[in-house]
Chains A and B, each alone.
Chain A
Amino acid sequence: MTARPESKVAGVVAPLCVILLAIAFWAAIKWVFDVRDFVLPSPGGVLSAFLAEPWPFLEGCLATAINAASGFAIATVLGIALASLLSLSRVIERSVYPLTLLFQMVPLIAIAPLLVVWCGYGRPAIVASSAVVALFPVIANTLSGLRARPLALDELFSILGASVLVRWWKLALPSAVPSIVTGLRIAAGLATIGTISGEFLAGIGGKGAPLGVLITTALRNFQTDRVIVCVLLSALVGFALFGAVSLTSRLLLGRFLRS
């Protein structure tokens, strides 16, 4: 099936136009109301702030990407493992799941200082903060996927005399893949948010400082243009992580996703 030219226009050109329009709107506001630079720099000002000294930004981008990817990876492994444990027994699930929901209600910004106390400043606390935020959608989606294993196939496995563990590995987990992928997509975005918040609190400055630290530093110096550069770059990190998850799931798991 080939894409028709119109759909390409709709898919690429139209969103691009909207983005350009948004930038134009931004420039217009700046020009019409004559907003001062430290409140709202112009689009050109932001671009030149980046181009004047791109390396610290790119290094920060890389550092943040590594933090977010690590947090995401931990959340993935831990989330699937915990959800699997919960799914093995109704009793365990009923007793533990409310606690995990409660946990989810705790705003991360309240836990982050504790993470600093436990892990110290630097990468461990940042990765932990990223993992904590990304963990719950993985647990919730994996659990609902594991619970929704088709009854018809469950009976087949009963006839075949499959053990609980075999049933989990060969039936529940594969049939939960679509839900797990949904959870991972959400987690990819949240991992980046958790990373930036972690970096605000636990990040260490200096060479190779992550975007969260660059943001706080720039903010202290009223360099709003640099803040906006960092914001856009952190969005890019989140987008890249999300894209990587989507692409991997589509390439590797295509057969799990259609049934």
Chain B
Amino acid sequence: MAIDLSKNNFLSLEGASRWFGSVAAVELVSLTIAVGSFTSIVGPSGCGKTTLLRMMGGLEPLDAGRMERSLGALSYCFQEPRLLPWRSVVDNVALPLELNGVPREERLDRAYAAIARVQLSEAAGRFPHQLSGGMKMRVAIARALIASPALLLLDEPFGALDEVTRHELDAELRALWEREQFTAVIVTHSMQEAAFLSERILVCSPRPARIIAEVATSKDSRDARYWTSTSLNAAVRTASDAMATAIEALRR
């Protein structure tokens, strides 16, 4: 039973499962992520969606099943910013380039540009302990995007931020994706965020995580302004209904 990782798929999972001791966190998940697509994974808290994303990122082994992933740079945005406390903002952002051997001057130039994109220019020389939670997360986003990844995995990156900041960063993220067309997968518990950002929403069951519904959002909903659009709200309602129906069906 070989996986057909055709040119159109960046990543594919087949029967992927993960147990922690005797508890299954992820069970028999099969999915494919198309090149250049933006996919959301939503589900109730603690359902194992983070574990699923970690498996995609290679941070968690598969206890069963298979995964295939195209070659190409991978970036992972964790739930927490995970900054190096002894490095200034600009040196934190430049870290991926530094590890890739990019010369100092070039990587600092690119780091300043990335910091400007997340509107943190005035804080470039500060240290993480001098930043607010939202600023730290912006630094983490800048760091994730600086190396122009082919695949960007985001694990509820804006969950800890205030709404205004979150909308700003979501809009920024979507604009970046439209411009650079990398492949992105985001785990979130916000249906609005999922509908706004992605073309496809995968709904997870309560633990162990399984994909129980899939909702395609129209191009229209993503073109709309975040909060005000009716089409976005329609997409949110569709996805929420699908999730509720699927969970209801599971209980029966």
Interface code A53-77, partner B: CB below 8 Å = 1, 0 otherwise? 0000000000000000000000000
Decide: A160 and B95 in contact? CB cutoff 8 A. yes
Decide: B57 and A159 in contact? CB cutoff 8 A. yes
Determine whether A48 belongs to the interface, using a CB cutoff of 8 Å to chain B. no
Subset of 18 A-B contacts with CB under 8 Å: A152-B78, A153-B84, A155-B59, A155-B82, A156-B76, A156-B78, A158-B58, A159-B57, A159-B75, A160-B96, A161-B99, A162-B99, A166-B99, A170-B95, A171-B84, A174-B86, A258-B129, A259-B85
- Please, how many angstroms separate the alpha-carbon atoms of A174 and B222 in the complex? 43
Nearest-CB distance from A173 to chain B (Å)?
A: 10
Determine whether B74 belongs to the interface, using a CB cutoff of 8 Å to chain A. yes
- Please, how many angstroms separate the alpha-carbon atoms of A158 and B74 in the complex? 11
Contacting A at CB under 8 A, from B96-129, are 96, 98-99, 127, 129
Task: Given A152-B80, A166-B99, A258-B129, check contact A158 B86 (CB 8 Å).
Answer: no
Nearest-CB distance from A158 to chain B (Å)?
A: 7
- Please, how many angstroms separate the alpha-carbon atoms of A176 and B80 in the complex? 21
Q: Could you list 7 further interchain pairs (A-B, Cβ under 8 angstroms) beyond the known A155-B76, A156-B76, A174-B86?
A: A152-B80, A159-B76, A160-B99, A162-B99, A166-B99, A256-B86, A259-B86
Residues in A with CB closer than 8 Å to B82 are 152-153, 155-156
A contact face: mostly helix, strand, loop, or mixed: helix
Determine whether A181 belongs to the interface, using a CB cutoff of 8 Å to chain B. no
Interface size range of chain A in the complex: 20 to 34
Using a CB–CB cutoff of 8 Å, the interface residues on chain A facing chain B are 152-153, 155-162, 166, 170-171, 174-175, 177, 255-256, 258-259
Residues in A with CB closer than 8 Å to B98 are 170
- Please, how many angstroms separate the alpha-carbon atoms of A161 and B76 in the complex? 12
Task: Given A159-B57, A160-B99, check contact A255 B78 (CB 8 Å).
Answer: no
Residues in B with CB closer than 8 Å to A170 are 95, 98-99
Residues in B with CB closer than 8 Å to A255 are 85-86, 127
Residues in B with CB closer than 8 Å to A161 are 99
- Please, how many angstroms separate the alpha-carbon atoms of A258 and B82 in the complex? 15
Nearest-CB distance from B162 to chain A (Å)?
A: 23
Contacting A at CB under 8 A, from B166-210, are none
Nearest-CB distance from B202 to chain A (Å)?
A: 22
- Please, how many angstroms separate the alpha-carbon atoms of A29 and B56 in the complex? 77
Residues in B with CB closer than 8 Å to A155 are 59, 76, 78, 82
Interface code B122-138, partner A: CB below 8 Å = 1, 0 otherwise? 00000101000000000
Nearest-CB distance from A257 to chain B (Å)?
A: 9
Decide: B84 and A174 in contact? CB cutoff 8 A. yes
Closest to A163 in B: B99
Interface code B78-97, partner A: CB below 8 Å = 1, 0 otherwise? 10101011100000000110
Decide: B99 and A158 in contact? CB cutoff 8 A. no
Closest to B74 in A: A159
Residues in A with CB closer than 8 Å to B129 are 258-259
Decide: B75 and A258 in contact? CB cutoff 8 A. no
Closest to A255 in B: B86
Decide: B80 and A159 in contact? CB cutoff 8 A. no
Nearest-CB distance from A219 to chain B (Å)?
A: 49
- Please, how many angstroms separate the alpha-carbon atoms of A177 and B76 in the complex? 27
Decide: A159 and B59 in contact? CB cutoff 8 A. yes
Residues in A with CB closer than 8 Å to B127 are 255
Nearest-CB distance from A157 to chain B (Å)?
A: 8
Closest to B127 in A: A255
Nearest-CB distance from A160 to chain B (Å)?
A: 5
Residues in B with CB closer than 8 Å to A160 are 95-96, 99
Residues in B with CB closer than 8 Å to A174 are 84, 86
- Please, how many angstroms separate the alpha-carbon atoms of A153 and B76 in the complex? 12
Interface code B51-87, partner A: CB below 8 Å = 1, 0 otherwise? 0000001110000000000000011101010101110
- Please, how many angstroms separate the alpha-carbon atoms of A103 and B85 in the complex? 36
Which residue of B57, B76, B85, B96 has the most chain A CB atoms within 10 A of its CB atom? B85
- Please, how many angstroms separate the alpha-carbon atoms of A171 and B83 in the complex? 11
- Please, how many angstroms separate the alpha-carbon atoms of A73 and B85 in the complex? 27
Q: Which 3 A-B pairs have the closest CB atoms?
A: A259-B85, A159-B76, A256-B86
Decide: A158 and B59 in contact? CB cutoff 8 A. yes
Decide: A177 and B99 in contact? CB cutoff 8 A. no
Nearest-CB distance from B133 to chain A (Å)?
A: 16
